[in-house]
Amino acid sequence: DTEVTQTPKHLVMGMTNKKSLKCEQHMGHRAMYWYKQKAKKPPELMFVYSYEKLSINESVPSRFSPECPNSSLLNLHLHALQPEDSALYLCASSQDGAVYNSPLHFGNGTRLTVT
């Protein structure tokens, strides 16, 4: 069982919808991440939160809006997405986001389809 829980597992949404992806971890980790993974490709970093503050935004379009309400929760709010945004969205956490030698723990992802 993964220690990073993502909901929902699958999501189908239209281009005018607003939806949210949720991620939760109870390992006491202080860094949390959103990655996007297209089929047969490696994960691509989207956002990093370190100690509940956004520390990295990889020039992600504003139709993706991250939120970190507390150290255990990470959300990704979606609005006006395009079909090319269909992908597996992975959440991850690590013990310490300041030094990148603490390994990432990944959730199983949300498979998003935009119609």
Partner 1 sequence: AQSVTQLDSQVPVFEEAPVELRCNYSSSVSVYLFWYVQYPNQGLQLLLKYLSGSTLVKGINGFEAEFNKSQTSFHLRKPSVHISDTAEYFCAVSKIQGAQKLVFGQGTRLTINP
In degrees rounded to 5, what are phi and psi of residue 16? -100, 0
Q: Which of 32, 46, 104, 112 binds partner 1 (CB under 8 A)?
A: 104
Q: Which of 14, 18, 100, 113 binds partner 1 (CB under 8 A)?
A: 100
60 is written with which tokens?
């992600």
How many CA atoms lie within 13 Å of 43's alpha carbon, on the beta-carbon side?
17
Q: Which is nearer to partner 1, 42 or 83 (CB)?
A: 42
Q: Which of 88, 93, 115, 75 is closest to 9 using CA atoms?
A: 88
Interaction mask 30-59, partner 1, x per CB under 8 A: -x--------xxxx-x--x-x----xx---
Q: Minimum distance from CB of 8 to partner 1 (Å)?
A: 14
Torsion angle, alpha carbons of 51, 52, 55, 61, to 10: 160
**Is 99 a binder of partner 1 (CB under 8 A)?**
yes
Q: Which H or E element spans position 24?
A: strand 18-25
Give the binding-site size for partner 1 (rule: CB under 8 A): 26
Binding site for partner 1 (CB under 8 A): 2, 4, 31, 40-43, 45, 48, 50, 55-56, 90, 92, 97-101, 103-109
